[in-house]
Structure 1
Amino acid sequence: MSPSQRMPLVLRLALIATVMAVIFVVDTTTRYEVAAAVFYTVVVLTAVRLVGRTALLLLCAACIVLTVASLVLTPHGDLRSGLVNMGISIAAIVMTTWLALKMEAARAAAHEAQAQLLRITRITSLEGLTTSIAHEVNQPLAAIVTSGNACQRWLAQDAPNLERARQALERILADAGRASGIIARVRSLTRGEPPQRAPFDLDEAVREVVELSQANIAMHHIVLSLELAGTLPPALADRVQVQQVVGNLLLNAIEALLPVAPAARRLRLASCSEDGMLLLCVEDTGVGLAPGMIDHLFDAFWTSKDEGIGVGLSISRAIVEANGGRIWAEPGARGGAVFRFTLPVADGEAAA
């Protein structure tokens, strides 16, 4: 790296050191009651993209040492208040460092998910498959970006909201794992490998998918109705693959609602137990199904969309059937369309 390329980094590190010195001087020369040391959290947030994990931990330790030194050197004020402020400042520094490291780990996980997607794209010549995988992974990756931006906003406040930032980071880690899981499951499906079936709570899995789509639903002024049973026995299926199906049906329903007037946009998800199987229903009041469409909806490469390729519902059917269920569609009673699919119930031995 040339000196001109190194110079911006050197200047930024020098600026960080200067800010730390200013915070130390202010914290030392003011009364115990002034908790200037909490602004070391800004230093940590600034440095997280510039240095590695070890250097960031050393920076955290340096900030803590400076905080303690300021308490010792402060000449006046209420010592008890100073001790309380020192404890709060150190806790904020440590928590901010932990959150910053988790945020970088989440970003790395997201990049790994994207890298896996690119590797799959290189080894397949079937455009429909790669587009379908990208379509399925797009939801968790979009959620990662949204949660990451929210986390940065919470941490950048004058008084960082550490709890909200921690919650955002937990969502990032969960969505990054979900993206990687989706890629692995779709790849297994195309290779003809059996799904990884295990007992899980269908209603909980549906809620997770709906949460990822909340921003899209709200943006298009769609009224969502969740009528989940809440008392269903566990489903016996591949949870990630089932969530792929729910996400695809949900996205199709949202797209079908866009051409209708905002006041008429209704989306309903309901679950129940029927004939020894679990049943999930996704109903919309969108443009509906034209005559003859139902016979071809789940055919590979058949689509009614101008820019569609017709693989989403085909893969959804393959997933549901591979997990021992059935999927079908019918016109809605109030217009629009209704998609339903079933899953087997986990017996006592499997659930245990």
Structure 2
Amino acid sequence: MSSGPAAAGGSIVPTETDWNDAWYLVCMKVSTIGFVVVDARERVAALDALRNTGVADLSRHLDANPAVADRLRRGMIILDVNEAAVRMFGAAGRADMIGQRTQRFFDPSCTAQINSARAFAGGATSFQQQARSVRIDGSRFDTLFCVVPKADGTTSGFWLASFVDITEHVQRQTSLDALRDELAHVSRISTLGELSASIAHEIGQPLSSIGMTASAMLRRLDGEDIDRDTLRRQCQRIVDQVARAGDIIDRTRRMAAKRGGTHSPVAIADVLAESVQFVQHELSRNAIGLQVVGSGADLIIRADRIQLQQVFVNLLMNAIQIHRQAGTPEPMIRVEIVREDGAIRIDVADNGPGIDPDHVGQLFDGFFTTRADGLGLGLSICRTILAAHGGSIAVPSRSGQPGATFSVQLPL
């Protein structure tokens, strides 16, 4: 290691070369993180060639040309590795990895390599992503993959990649996700139990209509003059009511099903409308008014439809139960849909007695409840579901106003 000029007091001031040497020593000889020095000049040249041929949108070009993407994945050769990388990838020694193309150590489904190419082509100076890595023996494990220009801050094509084994973390997160889904399922079953009378009433209405329509048809068939048009309309009415009953049963079955979360584009207005259908009989039975402000028809989010229904059904049922217990005069629930920058806010407000200030800090804690027959899971599950969607739930202050408001925010 070279030395720079002496500083005041006779100490030695390290030069840039000293720092680079020390940096390399720590990474390659001391660190417990797996470090890999990569020759990416082949990839850099391929990216330059794409730019020279007029490719402006690299991501779109790679999506349309898988062969080009594959060449970029292969365009990186391992020059050096540290002992931590040797152990992590199950190699007998450094020679097992040096000279290999980095593609060998990534699962074919992993997007980390091609995403790093997109990032650096776009001007990024560093990149990191969770990756699915492959050991020498072919076994898979999860890593946090990071890559930066090696030492001098240039993008000449010599890069330093690092790997942190996060397999245990991913397994713990998977277990937590499974536990969250299990608790959400328990909460849904509990909610459906509370709504059993409403569901029975909902199904009873189309069944009653079917029975009355069929009886009317039989009477007409017993008569001398058969009006085919009238019979046709009555048959159609039966078909419509059967479809209505089927929709109620399907909706209830989906809510009760034990299933993993599946995110897809959904219109928030549709989710809210379906949630209101679940509680409509409870609203009518308790003479509670419902006001929905803002259509939200064009507001699309990526979410699990059933889990979001669970959130809004829970909030609506909480408001209904508060009104029922408090005997609120002229009870009302107001649902307001508000578009914000890059997000959507849904406020569920009631004009009941409000929330005890002593309980505000505990509302979203698991198993906290003020109801003798409550599980204390509802609001906690709501918060967990929304967090998994990149959203949140809060209880904003309503100074001078009656009742309580639960404010849900979700990214568009």
TM-score, with length taken from structure 1: 0.55
* 1:134 equivalenced with 2:207 (yes/no): no
Q: Identify which of 307, 322, 340 aligns with 2:407.
A: 340
Q: 1:151 maps to which residue?
A: 206
Q: 2:292 maps to which residue?
A: 226
Q: Which amino acid aligns with 2:314?
A: N
Q: 1:216 maps to which residue?
A: 282
Q: 1:238 maps to which residue?
A: 304
Q: 1:311 maps to which residue?
A: 377
Cα distance change, pair 163–217 in 1 and its aligned pair in 2 (3 A)? farther
Q: Identify which of 346, 349, 354 aligns with 1:280.
A: 346
Cα distance change, pair 204–140 in 1 and its aligned pair in 2 (3 A)? farther
Contact 1:303 1:310 in 2 (8 A): yes
- Decide which structure has greater strand share: 2
Q: Which amino acid aligns with 2:216?
A: A
SS of alignment partner, residue 295 of structure 1? helix
Deviations 1:173-216 (A, max 9, x none): 2232223322346x53xxxxxx3111111012101211222221
In 1, Cα distance between equivalents of 2:316 and 2:333: 9
Deviations 1:139-187 (A, max 9, x none): 77655533432233223323254444433322332232223322346x5
Cα distance change, pair 249–164 in 1 and its aligned pair in 2 (3 A)? farther
Q: 2:273 maps to which residue?
A: 207
Contact 1:136 1:182 in 2 (8 A): no
Q: 2:47 maps to which residue?
A: none
In 2, Cα distance between equivalents of 1:338 and 1:165: 42
Contact 1:288 1:331 in 2 (8 A): no
Q: Identify which of 315, 318, 331 aligns with 1:265.
A: 331
* 1:298 equivalenced with 2:375 (yes/no): no
SS of alignment partner, residue 241 of structure 1? helix
In 2, Cα distance between equivalents of 1:288 and 1:162: 50
In 1, Cα distance between equivalents of 2:376 and 2:203: 32
TM-score, with length taken from structure 2: 0.47
Contact 1:253 1:267 in 2 (8 A): yes
Residue correspondence of structure 1 range 91-102 to structure 2 within 5 A: none
Unaligned runs of 5+ in 1: 1-123, 189-194, 346-352
In 2, Cα distance between equivalents of 1:166 and 1:146: 19
In 1, Cα distance between equivalents of 2:294 and 2:238: 30
Post-superposition offset of 1:328: 1.1
Q: Which amino acid aligns with 1:342?
A: Q
In 1, Cα distance between equivalents of 2:251 and 2:350: 26
Contact 1:283 1:337 in 2 (8 A): yes
Q: 2:21 maps to which residue?
A: none
Deviations 1:253-288 (A, max 9, x none): 001112344533111011121121111110001121
Cα distance change, pair 129–241 in 1 and its aligned pair in 2 (3 A)? closer
Cα distance change, pair 165–259 in 1 and its aligned pair in 2 (3 A)? same
- How many residue pairs end up in the alignment? 213
**Highest Rg: 1 or 2?**
2
Contact 2:268 2:300 in 1 (8 A): yes
Contact 1:328 1:339 in 2 (8 A): yes
| Percent identity for Structure 1 against Structure 2 | 29
* 1:168 equivalenced with 2:241 (yes/no): yes
SS of alignment partner, residue 259 of structure 1? helix
Contact 1:223 1:265 in 2 (8 A): yes
In 1, Cα distance between equivalents of 2:403 and 2:236: 42
In 2, Cα distance between equivalents of 1:144 and 1:309: 21
Cα distance change, pair 133–204 in 1 and its aligned pair in 2 (3 A)? closer
Q: 1:328 maps to which residue?
A: 394
Unaligned runs of 5+ in 2: 1-178, 218-233
Post-superposition offset of 1:247: 0.2
Cα distance change, pair 200–139 in 1 and its aligned pair in 2 (3 A)? farther
Q: 2:318 maps to which residue?
A: 252
Contact 2:328 2:352 in 1 (8 A): no
Contact 1:178 1:240 in 2 (8 A): no
Contact 1:141 1:175 in 2 (8 A): no
Q: Which amino acid aligns with 1:338?
A: T
